């Protein structure tokens, strides 16, 4: 009996040693990384390349990249995984998803995990990008693939209309005047070319935020619990947009499709357009005319919203994994890599240090239009983001569309949007 | 595809196998049914009941588990203008598409049933939209409606008409998506009319010819009454389709502008999978079920009385 | 205006109307074909002598994992049609030829699914899929469709037309229940299987809403969802590539339809009307 027990004890010891032997002291840490790419296109390869580079330098960390589709798909996938108790370790999702992820109790702020130099790290990014990444004094997101709205203009059309092709409208009044001259009608009065197109399908609030910022309005508080949709500055901004089509007739009536504006611009159907910096590469490749990229025009000030995705750090992982994630995110956002990423994809480089790299300098020298987004960043503001974000945004979008299509006045639409947003946000105050 | 339901016949053949006890037959029957019953229970009946329960509970969130809220979800739904808008739109959508699609289907069937040159090709032309995925169809139509260089504006341009923005204008957007539904469904309904027309005995036609009846009289007195059961069947299917086909909304308008093309099932998707609001979505699901149940009831009452297919 | 011989004028008018309608019905497809086979420059301009090209198809094929989408769709259609036929046959046989307590209740409960399609119950079904870990899997897409009330209904009707004598004869020859089903009933319903299979295959090839909800990665998305993701790009719409992708997605079904046109039409008629 005694021997048996002793044997058993020995065997247990041996087994334990064996197990320990198979798991080396420097255990390999595995992290899952959800990344939004709609299709298996070139961006997938770029991210794969970066992940491989990280793994090479960190042999003890294994990163499993999961391509989750569009931003919409990604957040759906994340929420599903969180509720199923299998959250990813790190993910890139819309910066405006921050409150949703906080409310679902899915993420933790980077501050505690990032250690002593956290403050310095966060300070390296443009403040306008950090605006969508911080709330309640904590940093929940690290800017990665970010964009902003800029104005594209067709220099050939400017020349044809007798305007200086190198002088882009810098104020609302100038934009309106230029658009009037640029709008071309045939003998029977049908429009052959519009002065300007600003898309209003899908997510009109994003482009509208350009107007509101320029008119000196800030749409929400930092806590994401209050919005200010019905202030005079917002209503006036909306009225200006409406007037472009209704009064001045330099902008198409009704809803302008987001997806067709670049095509309209390339086809010469519109002389100017507001679009994301993400379209830079597309326009550069396909434009058969000389074009320019400019900051959005100013009214009381310059202004544009930022957009795009941040890194998030998820709850419920081991300390090693958390450390590995922070290491990974830091690695992905070094100035050098940020520059490479920006050049390869067209996203705006997120830190001043990235623009100071030699690579980036060479790129800008060759393609100066790329620097416009950077210069605009000092005027840029956070994208509209609140608790229950999708709903608040929809209330705002619906009413914007109602006003743009003439079924409500600007004032009424903004009043309705405010009332609906207040109703939704009531429970978060 | 949808089906008619003729449940009125009592089961036939009360055959009893002499050397197998009825107990064994019963076990066998249940075993044959088992896989289907399990699947139906898991994905139809249990979810059906659960939806009713969920409609009286709040949406669980990370920090707030679901709890009983009584009629709150229903009050919210009743106060949601977008719900009423979607309901109105869906009613208009049904009223607008169904008569047109069914009327066209009948015309098509009559054309193709007659001795018209190129009959087979015509039948194919009418039926083709039915086999195409709605999502693909919507893409093509989206292109048609594009202001300036879409097909409609190009044709209009030949006659000097100004560019239009049908999908971007709330007064025309719903009509624009309805046109797609009519185009997609008319050919499908035609098939049923065609099958029924071919069942009409030729001697009826001969007799009418001898009496010198005109084609119109023949249609009104003979064909149309004989088609009544098929018409009812098609109508029921058309109503159900009007409430469950929203694929093209995703592609063409996303429910906009300002909810001008938001339909109930699309709204359900928004609530359930964009806002992740399980409570509201469950309440809306119950509404949809009630709508579809009343359609089924209408069919059952009418069909039970006098209709028989074939 | 007699019944047998319509006046020439009426006949011409009818033909013209019928063909005008036919042209209208074919126009969208023809337009898509035109755009897909010509360079993007001609997408917005009609020119009879524009050069033909397959480049749009190549670009679409390279821009998105359509091969994977095809694979997923084929898998989904195959699983659903196969399962529906097998499970439908078993259940229909029980309901058509067995007498047992509760049969009518079971049948009525099954028919409930005719009214409440799986997509209506998407919210509750999504929760189930999450609970069993089937979100974003092929199984998650097909599970709610594996058995169909309509299929059971259709096969039950067919089985009941099979003469009882045939079953009795087979029993005397020593066939068990499954043997009888396989030897007597299945052959009798061959035409129904074909018709039903065609209808279901085309329906599930085209299904969109539930797969959209339950999938969120390339590995599981069927063609319809892949196409919708592909077409809603951030960077503006390239119609030539999108029409090419659209045709590609519906291509196999369209070709099958053109080849088996008669069969298809008959199937839709019979599998919907019985």
DSSP B168-224: GSHHHHHHHHHHHHHHHHHHHHHHHHHHHHTTS-HHHHHHHHHTT-BHHHHIIIIIH
A23: tokens are: 């798991």
Contact A269 B170 (CB under 8 A): no
Contact B62 A82 (CB under 8 A): yes
Number of domains present in the structure of chain C: 2
- Does some domain include residue B88? yes
Lowest pLDDT segment from A159-163, A241-245, B11-15: B11-15
pLDDT of residue A16: 47
Contact A104 B61 (CB under 8 A): yes
CB pairs under 8 A between A and B: 86
Give the 3-state secondary structure of residue A27.
coil
Dihedral sign for Cα atoms in the order B27, B33, B38, B44: negative
pLDDT of residue A408: 92
A1: buried, middle or exposed (CB in 10 Å: 19+, 13-18, 0-12)?
Answer: exposed
Q: Residue C4 forms beta bridges with which residues?
A: none
Q: Residue A220 forms beta bridges with which residues?
A: A227
CATH code of the domain in which B238 resides: 1.10.3720.10
- Does some domain include residue B122? yes
Fold of A148-306+382-428: D-Maltodextrin-Binding Protein; domain 2 (3.40.190)
When pLDDT is averaged across residues C142-146 and rounded to a whole number, the result is 95
Tell me, yes or no, whether C130 and C47 share the same domain. Answer: no
Tell me, yes or no, whether C16 and C99 share the same domain. Answer: no
- Cross-chain CB nearest to A69 (options C229, C235, C237): C229
Whole-prediction pTM: 0.86
Residue of A nearest to B60 (CA): A104
- Does some domain include residue B61? no
- Residue B31 contacts by C-beta under 8 Å, 6 or more apart in sequence? none
Per CB-CB distance under 8 Å, the chain A contacts of B161 are: 190
CA angle C178/C83/B269 to nearest 5° reads 150
Contact C218 A69 (CB under 8 A): yes
Alpha-carbon distance B16 to nearest alpha carbon in chain A (angstroms): 51
pLDDT, one tens digit per residue, over A323-375 is 999 999 999 999 999 999 888 888 899 999 999 999 999 999 988 888 898 89
pLDDT of residue B229: 84
Q: Closest by alpha carbon to A90, among A352, A335, A330? A: A330
B263: buried, middle or exposed (CB in 10 Å: 19+, 13-18, 0-12)?
Answer: buried
Residue of A nearest to B150 (CA): A260
Greatest alpha-carbon span in chain C:
73
Tell me, yes or no, whether C22 and C69 share the same domain. Answer: no
pLDDT, one tens digit per residue, over A172-199 is 999 999 999 999 988 877 888 999 999 9
Q: Closest by alpha carbon to C63, among C181, C227, C213, C188? A: C227
- Does some domain include residue B74? no
Tell me, yes or no, whether C85 and C46 share the same domain. Answer: no
- Residue from A35, A201, A262, A266 whose CB has the most chain C CBs within 10 Å, to mutate: A262
pLDDT of residue C53: 83
- Transcribe A106-133 into DSSP letters: -B--HHHHH-TTHHHHHHTS-HHHHTTT
- Does some domain include residue B27? no
Contact C14 B111 (CB under 8 A): yes
Fold of A29-146+308-368: D-Maltodextrin-Binding Protein; domain 2 (3.40.190)
- Residue from A257, A396, A428 whose CB has the most chain B CBs within 10 Å, to mutate: A257
C19: tokens are: 């063909």
Give the residue from C20, C42, C58 where a domain finishes: C58
pLDDT tens for chain B, 310 residues: list them.
344 433 444 444 444 444 445 688 888 899 999 999 999 999 999 999 999 999 999 888 766 788 888 888 999 899 889 999 999 999 999 999 999 999 999 999 999 888 788 888 898 899 888 888 898 889 889 888 888 777 788 788 778 777 788 888 888 999 999 999 999 999 889 988 988 888 888 888 788 878 877 778 888 888 888 888 888 888 888 988 899 889 999 888 888 788 999 999 999 999 998 888 889 999 999 999 998 888 878 877 776 544 433 3
Alpha-carbon distance A428 to nearest alpha carbon in chain B (angstroms): 12
- Cross-chain CB nearest to B257 (options A103, A105, A255): A255
Contact B148 A254 (CB under 8 A): no
Q: Closest by alpha carbon to B4, among C105, C153, C162? A: C153
Give chains near C: 3+ CB pairs under 8 A. A, B
- Does some domain include residue C3? no
Number of domains present in the structure of chain B: 1
- Does some domain include residue C139? yes
Contact A103 B157 (CB under 8 A): no
pLDDT of residue B104: 95
- Cross-chain CB nearest to B259 (options A104, A200, A398): A398
Dist CA C89 CA C189 (whole Å): 10
C81: tokens are: 């049609």
Contact A244, A273 (CB under 8 A): no
Dist CA A283 CA A266 (whole Å): 7
| Neighbouring C-beta atoms of residue A412, cutoff 10 Å | 15
Q: Residue B13: left (phi > 0), alpha (psi -120 to 50), or beta?
A: left
Contact A122, A139 (CB under 8 A): yes
Per CB-CB distance under 8 Å, the chain C contacts of A83 are: 130
Tell me, yes or no, whether C71 and C91 share the same domain. Answer: yes
Long-range CB contacts for residues C256-261, cutoff 8 Å, separation at least 24: C257/B127, C257/B128, C257/B131, C257/C202, C258/B124, C260/C198, C261/B120, C261/B124, C261/B127
Enclosing domain of residue C18 = 8-58
Per CB-CB distance under 8 Å, the chain C contacts of B129 are: 25, 28-29
Contact B214 C2 (CB under 8 A): yes
Alpha-carbon distance A404 to nearest alpha carbon in chain B (angstroms): 9
Contact B250 C44 (CB under 8 A): no
Question: What was the ipTM of the complex prediction?
Answer: 0.88
Contact C4 B209 (CB under 8 A): yes
Tell me, yes or no, whether C43 and C84 share the same domain. Answer: no
B240: tokens are: 């159900």
Instruction: Indicate if the pLDDT at residue A3 is higher than 80.
Output: no
User: Which residues of chain B are at the A interface, by a Cβ-Cβ cutoff of 8 Å?
Assistant: 61-63, 82, 146-149, 157, 160-163, 165, 167-170, 254, 256-259, 270, 273-277
A76 at C interface, C-beta within 8 A: yes
B302 at C interface, C-beta within 8 A: no
Contact C162, C180 (CB under 8 A): no
Q: Where are the alpha helices (DSSP H) in C116-176?
A: 122-131, 138-142, 149-159, 164-172
Tell me, yes or no, whether C169 and C35 share the same domain. Answer: no
> Please, what is the average pLDDT of chain C?
85
Pairing of strands A304-313, A29-35: unpaired
pLDDT of residue A240: 94
- Residue whose pair of structure tokens reads 């797969």 in the numeric block: C211
- Does some domain include residue C218? yes
A66 at C interface, C-beta within 8 A: yes
- Does some domain include residue B44? no
- Transcribe A72-105 into DSSP letters: HHHHHHHHHHHHTT---SEEEEEGGGHHHHHHTT
- Does some domain include residue B267? yes
pLDDT of residue B2: 40
Residue of B nearest to C150 (CA): B3
Length of chain A in terms of residues written: 429
| Neighbouring C-beta atoms of residue A186, cutoff 10 Å | 12
Greatest alpha-carbon span in chain B:
85
pLDDT of residue C45: 66
pLDDT of residue C232: 65
* Domain definitions of chain A by residue range: 29-146+308-368, 148-306+382-428
Contact A76 C216 (CB under 8 A): yes
Enclosing domain of residue B154 = 80-306
Q: Closest by alpha carbon to A313, among A55, A71, A82? A: A82
Q: Residue A150 forms beta bridges with which residues?
A: A275
Instruction: Indicate if the pLDDT at residue C43 is higher than 70.
Output: no
Lowest pLDDT segment from A24-33, A70-79, A276-285, B249-258: A24-33
Give the 3-state secondary structure of residue C59.
helix
pLDDT of residue C100: 87
B90: tokens are: 């869906």
- Does some domain include residue B32? no
When pLDDT is averaged across residues A309-314 and rounded to a whole number, the result is 94
Tell me, yes or no, whether C40 and C126 share the same domain. Answer: no
Dist CA C88 CA C8 (whole Å): 52
Exposure string (b/e) for C230-269, b if CB count within 10 Å is 16 or more?
bbbbbbbbbbbbbbbbbbbbbeebbebbeeebeebbbbbb
Q: Closest by alpha carbon to B238, among B92, B138, B102? A: B102
- Cross-chain CB nearest to A68 (options C63, C216, C236): C216
């Amino acid at each position: 009996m005694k021997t048996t027990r002793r044997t058993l004890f020995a065997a247990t010891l041996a087994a334990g040693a064996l197990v320990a032997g198979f798991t080396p002291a420097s255990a390999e840490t595995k992290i899952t990384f959800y990344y939004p790419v709609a299709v298996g296109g070139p961006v997938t390869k770029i991210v794969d390349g970066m992940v491989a580079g990280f793994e090479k330098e960190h042999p003890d960390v294994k990163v499993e990249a999961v391509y989750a589709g569009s931003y919409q798909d990604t957040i759906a996938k994340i929420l599903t995984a969180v509720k199923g108790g299998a959250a990813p370790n790190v993910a890139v999702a819309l910066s405006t998803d921050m409150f949703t992820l906080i409310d679902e109790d899915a993420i933790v702020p980077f501050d505690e995990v990032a250690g002593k130099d956290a403050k310095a790290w966060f300070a390296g990014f443009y403040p306008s990008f950090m605006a969508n990444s911080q709330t309640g004094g904590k940093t929940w997101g690290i800017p990665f693939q970010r964009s902003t709205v800029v104005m594209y203009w067709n220099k050939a059309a400017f020349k044809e209309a007798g305007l200086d092709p190198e002088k882009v409208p810098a104020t609302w009044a100038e934009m309106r005047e230029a658009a009037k001259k640029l709008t071309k009608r045939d003998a029977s009065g049908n429009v052959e070319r519009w002065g300007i197109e600003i898309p209003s399908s899908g997510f009109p609030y994003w482009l509208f935020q350009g107007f509101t910022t320029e008119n000196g309005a800030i749409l929400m508080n930092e806590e994401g619990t209050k919005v200010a949709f019905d202030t005079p500055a917002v209503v006036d901004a909306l009225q200006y947009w409406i007037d472009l089509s209704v009064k001045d007739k330099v902008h198409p009536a009704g809803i302008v499709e987001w997806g067709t504006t670049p095509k309209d611009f390339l086809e010469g159907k519109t002389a100017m357009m507001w679009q994301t910096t993400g379209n830079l590469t597309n326009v550069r490749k396909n434009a058969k005319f000389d074009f320019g990229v400019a900051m959005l025009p100013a009214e009381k000030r310059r202004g544009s919203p930022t957009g795009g995705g941040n890194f998030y750090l998820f709850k419920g992982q081991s300390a090693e994994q958390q450390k590995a994630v922070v290491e990974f995110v830091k690695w992905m956002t070094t100035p050098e890599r940020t520059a490479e990423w920006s050049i390869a994809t067209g996203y705006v480089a997120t830190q001043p240090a990235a623009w100071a790299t030699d690579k980036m300098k060479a790129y800008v020298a060759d393609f100066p239009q790329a620097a416009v987004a950077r210069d605009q960043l000092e005027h840029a503001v956070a994208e509209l983001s609140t608790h229950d974000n999708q709903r608040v945004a929809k209330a705002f979008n619906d009413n914007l569309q109602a006003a743009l299509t003439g079924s409500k006045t600007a004032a009424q639409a903004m009043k309705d949007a405010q009332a609906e947003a207040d109703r939704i946000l009531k429970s978060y105050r | 595809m949808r089906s008619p339901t003729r449940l009125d016949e009592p089961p036939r053949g009360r055959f009893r196998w002499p050397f197998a006890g009825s107990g064994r037959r019963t076990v066998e029957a249940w075993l044959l049914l088992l896989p289907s019953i399990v699947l139906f229970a898991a994905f139809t009946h249990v979810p059906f009941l659960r939806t009713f329960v969920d409609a009286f509970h709040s949406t669980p969130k990370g920090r707030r588990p679901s709890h009983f809220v009584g009629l709150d979800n229903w009050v919210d739904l009743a106060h949601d203008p977008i719900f009423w808008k979607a309901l109105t739109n869906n009613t208009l959508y049904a009223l607008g598409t169904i008569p047109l699609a069914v009327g066209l289907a009948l015309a098509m069937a009559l054309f193709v049933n007659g001795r018209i040159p190129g009959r087979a090709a015509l039948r194919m032309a009418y039926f083709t939209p039915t086999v195409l995925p709605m999502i693909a169809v919507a893409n093509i139509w989206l292109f048609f409606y594009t202001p300036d260089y879409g097909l409609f504006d190009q044709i209009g341009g030949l006659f000097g008409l100004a560019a239009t923005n049908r999908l971007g204008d709330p007064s025309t957007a719903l009509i624009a998506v309805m046109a797609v539904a009519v185009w997609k469904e008319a050919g499908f309904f035609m098939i049923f009319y065609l099958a029924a027309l071919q069942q009409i005995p030729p001697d009826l036609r001969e007799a009418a010819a001898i009496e010198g009846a005109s084609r119109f009289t023949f249609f009104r007195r003979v064909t149309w009454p004989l088609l009544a059961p098929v018409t009812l069947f098609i109508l029921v299917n058309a109503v159900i389709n009007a409430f469950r086909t929203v694929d093209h909304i995703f592609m063409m308008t996303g429910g906009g502008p300002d909810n001008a093309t938001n339909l109930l099932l699309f709204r359900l998707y928004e609530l359930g999978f964009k806002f992740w609001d399980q409570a509201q979505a469950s309440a809306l699901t119950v509404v949809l079920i009630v709508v579809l149940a009343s359609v089924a009831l209408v069919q059952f009452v009418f069909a039970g009385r006098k209709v028989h297919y074939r | 205006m007699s019944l047998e011989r319509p006046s020439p004028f009426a006949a011409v008018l009818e033909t013209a109307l019928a063909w005008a309608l036919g042209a209208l019905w074919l126009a969208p497809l023809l337009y898509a074909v035109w755009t897909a086979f010509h360079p993007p420059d001609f997408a917005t301009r009609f020119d009879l002598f524009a050069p033909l090209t397959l480049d749009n198809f190549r670009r679409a094929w390279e821009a998105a994992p359509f091969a994977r989408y095809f694979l997923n769709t084929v898998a989904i259609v195959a699983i659903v049609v196969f399962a529906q036929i097998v499970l439908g046959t078993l259940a229909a046989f029980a309901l058509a030829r067995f007498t047992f307590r509760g049969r009518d209740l079971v049948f009525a409960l099954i028919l409930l699914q005719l009214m409440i399609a799986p997509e209506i119950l998407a919210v509750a079904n999504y929760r189930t899929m999450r609970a069993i870990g089937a979100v974003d899997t092929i199984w998650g897409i097909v599970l709610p469709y594996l058995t169909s009330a309509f299929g059971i209904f259709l096969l039950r009707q067919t089985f009941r037309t099979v003469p009882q004598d045939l079953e009795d004869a087979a029993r005397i020859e020593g066939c068990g229940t499954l043997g009888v089903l396989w030897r007597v009933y299945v052959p009798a319903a061959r035409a129904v299987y074909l018709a039903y299979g065609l209808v279901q295959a085309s329906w599930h090839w085209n299904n969109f809403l539930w797969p959209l909800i339950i999938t969120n990665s390339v590995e599981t998305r069927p063609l319809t969802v892949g196409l919708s993701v592909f077409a809603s790009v951030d960077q503006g719409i390239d119609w030539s590539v999108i029409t090419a992708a659209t045709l590609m997605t519906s291509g196999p079904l369209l070709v099958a339809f053109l080849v088996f046109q008669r069969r298809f039409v008959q199937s839709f008629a019979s599998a919907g009307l019985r």
